[in-house]
Structure 1
Amino acid sequence: MDIENQLISIEEEIKNICENYTDDNIGGWITGHGSVPCDILFIGEAPGKTEVEEKTPFVGMAGKNFEHYLNLINIKRENIRVTNTCYFRPIKIKESANGRSSISNRTPKTSEISLFKDILYKEINLVDPKIIITLGNIPLKTLTDCKSIGECHGKIIFSKKVNRYVFPMYHPSSLTYNRSEDFKQKYIEDWYKLKEALETI
């Protein structure tokens, strides 16, 4: 089967899981985006509202941060592939006292990540990257034995789970939640470390 048909097959598998999922609330789904094959694969956690609307990973507020730092180390978006560990948008719905409901993102459950693990591995094998950059704890724990992002961000690791080099980074949205100068500096340093790693692989 050629690459195009394999990508269609992956999309059909994702669609089938999402359309038949009834364990909790979800708000749409997306697939990976970018070149296949590709040397650089970024893997996030799960899509948000804007990503689902535009059918592309990392296009919301976190996406703007992401693009900014890609530009910082001279990586063009068209030269990478971006995907997620969980392909649907996990949501929680809150009913207010006046009867209005609000929808927000939630972290995907372990069981939801497991639903897509085989598909994610298929996508990784199809993309055949020289390096995988995990964004946040969820893809990191899915692909490596690291316990937390805090202890292994900014270091290149060889993952036996996927037989590939993995470079863990904080999720771009973390800059929205942690506004300290120390954290921002650490985050920028990780991008420059990634640039160095890309020159050695």
Structure 2
Amino acid sequence: MNTLNNIEKRIKNISEQYPNDMIGGFITGDGPIPCDIMFVGEAPGKTEVELGKPFVGKAGANFEKYLNSIGLRRDNVRITNTCYFRPIKRKISKSGRETISNRPPKVSEINLFKDILNDEINLVNPKIIVTLGNIPLKRLTDFKSIGECHGNLIFNKEINRNIFPMYHPSSLIYNKSEEFLNIYRNDWEKLSETLLSL
């Protein structure tokens, strides 16, 4: 039976039994069920795992700012990930100091959670799924790059859902150009208009 409890147990089992040690904890989705609007990110980072919630780090602050700008709050939306555990890479410096950083999830890691994400989508039953970044975009559409389709409504016949691709909020940390900021802001305005039409 597809329940939230069942989904969370499956995420825990996969994460704890993952044979590759290059992961740093896991989280589950956050927000109401059912819910009209569902955001799907890539994978949790360090802060997300520490606090047990998606989008609570630097990228999360950007996300929340723009979410609020179109009249929504975190508790109005469901937020989840394509990969539920934190993929990490370890690096040893010449002095022997170890650093741990995030890495994108591998296709095999995304596929581990494919059925779970589908089940979470069915449980949430959203009118629209907003993908944040290339990884959820490739998982839920046939597009290969966010640049091809951001800010446009796409219908996924396989899962019978509206998909609205957007840039990942962390992109604002790396790309501070005025041009990109305008594109990003414009996509949120388009999302706001799209929500009114659904």
**Deviation >3 Å, runs of 4+:** none
Q: Which residue of 2 aligns with 1:18?
A: 15
| Stretch of structure 1 that moved more, 140-149 or 116-125 | 140-149
Q: Could you tell me which of 151, 169, 186 is aligned with 1:189? A: 186
Structure 1 gap ranges (5+): none
Q: 1:147 and 1:8 mapped to 2: Cα distance?
A: 33
**2:64 matched to which residue of 1?**
67
| Equivalent position to 2:44, from 38, 41, 47 | 47
Amino acid at match of 1:41: M
Q: What corresponds to 1:149 in structure 2? A: 146
Q: Residue 41 of structure 1: SS of its match in structure 2?
A: strand
Give the CA deviation at 1:24.
Answer: 4.8
| TM-score after normalising by structure 1 | 0.97
Question: Is 1:124 matched up with 2:103?
Answer: no
Deviation at 1:161, TM superposition (A): 2.6
- Paired residue type of 1:142: R
Distance in 1 separating the partners of 2:98 and 2:26: 21
CA root-mean-square deviation? 0.9
Distance 1:179 1:28 in 2: 30
Q: 2:94 aligns with which of 76, 92, 97?
A: 97
Residues 133 and 167 in structure 1, CA contact (< 8 A), matched pair in contact too: yes
Return the offset for 1:141.
0.7
Q: Note if 1:56 corresponds to 2:53.
A: yes
Q: Would you say the 8 A contact 1:141–1:147 is kept in 2? A: yes
Distance, in Å, in 1 between the alignment partners of 2:45 and 2:144 is 25
Aligned residue identity for 1:104: S
| Equivalent position amino acid for 1:145 in 2 | D
Percent same amino acid at aligned positions?
Answer: 67
* TM-score, with structure 2 as normaliser: 0.98
Give the distance between the partners of 1:128 and 1:160, measured in 2 at CA: 15
Distance (Å, rounded) in 1 between the aligned partners of 2:51 and 2:112? 23
Task: Measure the CA separation in 2 of the matches of 1:24 and 1:161.
Answer: 33
